[in-house]
Amino acid sequence: MDLLLTNQNLSAFQLFIKLLEAIGIIGLAAYFFTQSTVFKSLFARKFTLRDKFLMIIFFSTISIVGTYLGIPIKGALANTRAVGAIVAGLLGGPVVGLGAGLIAGTHRYLLGGYTGFACGLATVIEGLLAGFLPKIIENRKMSLLLGMSAGILGEALQMLIILLIARPFNEAVDLVKVIALPMMTVNSLGIMLFIHLVHKAKKEQEKIEALQAHKALEIANQTISHLRHGLSSNSAQIAAQIILNISEVDAVAITDKQKILAHVGIGSDHHLPNSILLTTLTEKVISSGELIIANSPLEIDCKEPLCPLGSAVVVPLKIKNDVIGTLKFYHARPNLMSPVKVELARGLAQLLSTQLELGQLEAQAKLKTTAELKALRAQINPHFLFNTLNTIISFSRTEPETSRQLLIHLSDFFRKTLKNDCDFVRINDELTLIKSYLTIEKARFGNRLDIIYDIPDELLDFEMPAFILQPLVENSVKHGIAPKIEGGQILIKAFKIDGKVAFCICDTGIGIPKDIREKIFLKGFGKGTGIGLSNVNERLMNIYGPEYGLKILDSSEITNVFFNIPDNKEVRYNEFQTPSLNC
């Protein structure tokens, strides 16, 4: 082979200087590698088969170039071939290292010469052995040292293989004396240079990603309150303006599947809110559900001939994998949508999609809570109804006026229970409902039921969740007082304490049996014949938080059910906002 015919008589130092010239090529190769898409996969160590194939081709090419840049000496080549094979193994693992080493090693063998087979075999082994070190290479403090060590050990191994296989032996010995130290030194420096440049590029990439994350979080923080109620023209317009102010693009647009919801920046004169989609690009993204980059107006394909949009990235917005719209970044000039902007758009679309999905779940939860509340209002205890009617009938002959008043109270109780759609009511309204109920019960129990109200006038206008107190009073009557022959007393009390309004429903009934007390707050317990305490407890905790649930103090003489509500309208409304609040 011509490459091996021109021998040079060089000292080890002269050979070292000439080999250093190849370092520049290695540095250039490292730069191109850090600009590739494969380089991004290096962060997560999640190489696809395509990534591995591309790395094998790339690093085997570096090794082959290192061979051709070699210095002919004593019928062999002093070269930097090992750099490609060893770095391939260190960064890509055993498969990549073996693949790059096998290609480069085969190439060296085909060049011929008495060291051809030995050098080719050594390259394969170097790549394979280096592939078992990627876990160690992740430790940056050791990476340069490890690279140097891998280079020295790899080339020392090659010298050993040359001595063991190459013949004539005397020529192999003479060759190793000249090339061993320069090749070990230069290849180690080349590996260290490559790894240093990779880590430097990695740090720069991390800085860019950190900046992107900061921008994305800043945008998410400013848009969350607007998008929590869904994707509309108003919320999209606000969100698009926030994104435009932070993302450093020329225009931002948000669409649903049929129309433009918002477009701010260049092109807003014809990309109007609530108008039909104007670009074929957007229609393709909605149809495919995949991100698409357009580098020219032709690829954007706007229906307006004079549209100033030159390049774009369009990302689908999704809820549970269903496309609900798009987020679009635009630049005025073609080919200006950088990978940084593409990744920012991708990350923002994911954040916005998550915000919209959480908003949808929150709305569904509120609807569910409202539906449960309406179901509670409709859940009239049949025993209460039948007992009340029997009581009214019993009074109809002897005390017709009392019977008439009881019917009025029963009608009033049903009307307020079934027709009141407010989620929050004044304490005074809740007391009116309770008084209608207790008037009917007192007619049944007579002197066996004694009611005491202890609520300051200044609290009567305080708002609380509807249908909270009445079920507690009903439980006291039904389970506490009714089973007790001599009857008992119920105290309904409210007072302010430590920025909260405390409510107590106390009765002197029979108390709560131990086996019932252990189950009383289990979900669904007690719903069979009325409204269970578990339901009231669950509603309070859903609205205000787990610390605001019911508490029970029970003794043989007194049962006290109590709870607190924050004296703060903002807290209540933020936690439980529905269209029917302003009742």
Which residue spans of the chain are classified as CATH 3.30.450.40? Answer: 228-361
Task: Give the residue carrying structure tokens 């630049």.
Answer: 331
Pick the most confident of 48-62, 183-197, 284-298: 284-298
pLDDT the model gives residue 199: 79
pLDDT band at 97 (very low <50, low <70, confident <90, very high): very high
Report the CATH fold assignment for 228-361.
Beta-Lactamase (3.30.450)
Report the CATH fold assignment for 2-206.
Arp2/3 complex 21 kDa subunit ARPC3 (1.10.1760)
Which residue spans of the chain are classified as CATH 1.10.1760.20? Answer: 2-206
Q: Are strands 260-265 and 292-294 parallel, antiparallel or unpaired?
A: unpaired
Which residue(s) pair with 449 in the sheet? 488
pLDDT at 573 over 50: no
Contacts of 324 (CB under 8 A, 6+ apart): 231, 256, 257, 317, 318, 356
pLDDT tens per residue, range 421-479: 566 888 998 898 788 778 878 877 888 899 999 999 999 999 988 878 888 988 888 88
pLDDT at 204 over 80: no
Residue predicted with more confidence, 285 or 29:
285
Single pTM value for the model:
0.47
pLDDT the model gives residue 326: 93
Pick the most confident of 2-6, 70-74, 181-185, 445-449: 181-185
Q: b/e per residue, 26-49, with b = 16+ CB within 10 A?
A: beebbeebbeeebbbbbeeeebee
pLDDT the model gives residue 44: 47
pLDDT at 530 over 80: no
pLDDT tens per residue, range 143-166: 788 888 888 999 999 999 999 999
pLDDT the model gives residue 380: 46
Pick the most confident of 3-12, 209-218, 221-230, 562-571: 562-571
pLDDT at 43 over 80: no
pLDDT tens per residue, range 346-395: 888 887 787 777 766 666 566 556 555 555 554 544 444 545 565 666 55
Residue predicted with more confidence, 494 or 33:
494
Contacts of 444 (CB under 8 A, 6+ apart): 387, 388, 391
pLDDT at 575 over 70: no
SS3 289: coil
pLDDT at 205 over 90: no
pLDDT band at 577 (very low <50, low <70, confident <90, very high): very low
pLDDT the model gives residue 270: 92
Which residue spans of the chain are classified as CATH 3.30.565.10? Answer: 379-575
Pick the most confident of 69-73, 349-353, 369-373, 534-538: 69-73
* Assigned token pair, 515: 């086996």
Least confident of 25-39, 126-140, 324-338, 403-417: 403-417
Q: Please answer whether residues 265 and 250 qualify as being in contact, where contact means their C-beta atoms are separated by less than 8 angstroms.
A: yes
Mean pLDDT of 239-267: 89
Domain range 379-575, its CATH number among 3.65.10.10, 3.40.1160.10, 3.30.565.10, 3.40.50.360: 3.30.565.10
Least confident of 50-54, 376-380, 495-499: 376-380
pLDDT tens per residue, range 542-555: 788 778 889 998 87
Q: Which of 442, 419, 503, 520 is nearest to 469 (CA)?
A: 503
CA distances from 424 to 180, 413, 577 (A): 87, 17, 10
